[in-house]
């Protein structure tokens, strides 16, 4: 897919006929509808300068009554490795374990690297098609690819710099010790472009939880990075890994708010009491969870985590690649899936579920008071063909325009 929008404005300009949510309508104390109105919005140098009464007679750019929402953010994806842009292939039944996949990657990476810049750009365009302007992307660090995955990803991001931003996680996909990846991780950690130190199933891949996490934590501390580790392991080893990482975050306050466990499938197999206990501990250590919202035998306790104040980030993870046949690239679809999984069906609950696409930014607070957009907010928005947030989530509404830091792109 090519980039589906055309640049129509940047710098300083205004929009008219912008639909914004203004409050809730109630019946016997229950939210039954979201109220909206049309406004004019001024943009200046990447920020929202002002939100004013609508002036339909002005010569401002016409938003045509589309709903303005915060642009979407995908907080767990692998832009550096995808089959998207190549001929269709479904998932192979032959490779069932992570170690199977490591062996397969060692075979195919040299060939995939030849086109990885172009395919990363195509995948970014797919995300943008659905209104995403920002991603936290993991990139492979392994002896087969060296730093090439990072170099190619940075090239793709440079080509997209006006319309898309990303933060990067150095991900030892082939293990730290299972393959000789320690020197490469140390090299990657020194790079300014790398924001997080990643990790992978420390017990099942490298055979030692403490050894792997001690290295990961120290590397993050030495270079002032965050941590975001993949943890597919369930049961005792999964919970031991999560608790050990929480302990490290509590011991090192500089890691709090910057430490995440991706997937964390172990949390989906606990009793209610156990879930509440670990949610309390995650909140205490300010350790977040990044989830792709799995539902094949593992339903993550997202409502409980949110209840206890755990930072829950959502992403697509794989988009039609050799790890997973599924993955649409659409963050509204992820919010829709969450609504269906957890029974968020009312106007109020659906409106709250938008936060999983925008990563916590909502136009209205829980009492229906308008809290976004405000002067000074980053001018990164979408214009959606929807009457309100609840409809956008429920109907996975089409995005008509995407703005990244004041650069406005519109569908031709």
Q: What is the pLDDT of residues 105-153, one digit of tens each?
A: 999 999 999 999 999 999 999 999 999 999 999 999 999 999 999 999 9
Residue 138: half-sphere exposure toward Cβ, Cα within 13 Å? 28
Contact 291, 76 (CB under 8 A): yes
Whole-number pLDDT of residue 82? 83
Class of domain 73-329: alpha beta
Q: What is the sign of the dihedral through the CA atoms of 389, 394, 395 and 398?
A: positive
Task: For the beta carbon of residue 224, count every other beta carbon within 10 angstroms.
Answer: 10
Q: Where are the domains of the chain?
A: 6-65+360-410, 73-329
The DSSP-derived string for 196-248 is EEEEE-HHHHHS-HHHHHHHHHHHHHHTT-EEEEEE---HHHHHHHHHHHHHH
Whole-number pLDDT of residue 325? 77
Is a pLDDT exceeding 70 seen at residue 243? yes
Q: What percentage of the chain exceeds 70 in pLDDT?
A: 100
Question: Per-residue pLDDT averaged across 360-373, rounded?
Answer: 97
Whole-number pLDDT of residue 299? 92
Whole-number pLDDT of residue 319? 86
Whole-number pLDDT of residue 111? 93
Whole-number pLDDT of residue 31? 98
Q: Residue 69, Cα to own-chain centre: how many angstroms?
A: 16
Residue 189 phi, psi (nearest 5): -65, -20
Q: What confidence tens digit (pLDDT) does each residue in 72-92 have?
A: 999 999 999 888 888 887 777
Q: What confidence tens digit (pLDDT) does each residue in 294-316 have?
A: 877 789 999 999 999 999 999 99
Mean pLDDT of the chain: 95
pLDDT tier for residue 1 given thresholds of 50, 70 and 90: low
Lowest mean pLDDT segment, chosen from 24-38, 85-99, 193-207: 85-99
Cα distance between residue 169 and residue 193, in whole Å = 9
Cα distance between residue 310 and residue 151, in whole Å = 33
Q: What confidence tens digit (pLDDT) does each residue in 246-296 have?
A: 999 999 999 999 999 999 999 999 999 999 999 999 999 999 999 999 877
The DSSP-derived string for 98-112 is HHHHHHHHHHHHHHH
Question: Per-residue pLDDT averaged across 212-226, rounded?
Answer: 98
- pTM of the predicted model, to two decimals? 0.96
Whole-number pLDDT of residue 51? 98
Question: Where is 163: in which H helix or E strand?
Answer: none
Is a pLDDT exceeding 70 seen at residue 223? yes
Is a pLDDT exceeding 80 seen at residue 321? no
Alpha helices in 47-179 (DSSP H): 98-112, 116-129, 148-159
Please give the CATH superfamily to which domain 6-65+360-410 belongs: Urease, subunit C, domain 1 (2.30.40.10)
Question: Per-residue pLDDT averaged across 40-67, rounded?
Answer: 98
Question: Per-residue pLDDT averaged across 386-397, rounded?
Answer: 98
Instruction: Tell me the CA distances in angstroms from 324 to 95, 96, 243, 327, 328, one per residue in order.
Output: 11, 11, 28, 7, 11
Instruction: Tell me the CA distances in angstroms from 204 to 92, 200, 237, 404, one per residue in order.
Output: 22, 9, 9, 40
Closest CA to 123 of 405, 323, 327: 327
Whole-number pLDDT of residue 326? 79
Beta strands in 234-377 (DSSP E): 259-263, 287-291, 312-314
């Amino acid at each position: 897919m090519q980039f589906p929008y055309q640049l129509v404005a940047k710098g300083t300009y205004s929009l008219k006929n912008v639909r914004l949510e203004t409050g809730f309508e109630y019946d016997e104390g229950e939210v039954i509808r979201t109220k909206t109105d049309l406004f004019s919005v001024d943009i200046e140098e990447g920020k929202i300068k002002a939100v004013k009464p609508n002036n339909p007679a002005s010569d401002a750019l016409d938003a045509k009554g589309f709903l303005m929402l915060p642009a979407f953010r995908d907080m767990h994806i692998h832009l550096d490795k995808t089959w998207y842009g190549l001929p269709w292939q479904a998932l192979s039944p032959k490779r069932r374990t992570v170690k199977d996949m490591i062996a397969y990657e060692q075979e195919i990476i040299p060939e995939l690297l030849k086109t990885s810049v172009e395919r990363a750009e195509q995948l970014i365009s797919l995300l943008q098609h659905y209104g995403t302007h920002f991603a936290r992307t993991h990139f492979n660090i392994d002896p087969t690819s060296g730093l090439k995955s990072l170099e190619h990803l940075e090239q793709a991001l440079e080509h997209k710099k006006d319309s898309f931003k990303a933060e990067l996680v150095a991900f030892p996909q082939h293990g730290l010790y299972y393959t000789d990846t320690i020197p490469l991780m140390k090299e990657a950690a020194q790079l300014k472009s790398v924001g997080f130190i990643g990790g992978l199933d420390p017990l099942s891949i490298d055979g030692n939880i403490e050894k792997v996490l001690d290295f990961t934590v120290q590397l993050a501390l030495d270079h002032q990075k965050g941590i975001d580790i993949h943890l597919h392991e369930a049961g005792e080893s999964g919970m031991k890994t999560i608790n050990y990482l929480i302990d490290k975050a509590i011991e090192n306050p500089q890691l709090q708010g910057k430490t995440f466990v991706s997937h964390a499938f172990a949390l989906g197999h606990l009793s209610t009491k156990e879930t509440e206990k670990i949610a309390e501990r995650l909140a205490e250590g300010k350790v977040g969870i990044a989830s792709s919202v799995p539902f094949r035998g593992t339903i993550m306790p997202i409502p409980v985590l949110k209840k206890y104040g755990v930072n829950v980030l959502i992403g697509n993870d794989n988009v039609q690649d050799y790890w997973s046949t599924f993955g649409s690239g659409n963050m509204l679809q992820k919010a829709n899936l969450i609504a269906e999984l957890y029974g968020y069906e009312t106007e109020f609950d659906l409106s709250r579920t938008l936060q999983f696409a925008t990563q916590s930014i909502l136009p209205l607070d829980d009492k229906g008071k308008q809290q976004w957009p405000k002067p000074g907010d980053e001018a990164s928005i979408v214009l959606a063909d929807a009457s309100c947030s609840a409809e956008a989530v429920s109907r996975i509404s089409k995005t008509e325009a995407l703005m990244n830091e004041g650069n406005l792109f519109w569908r031709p």
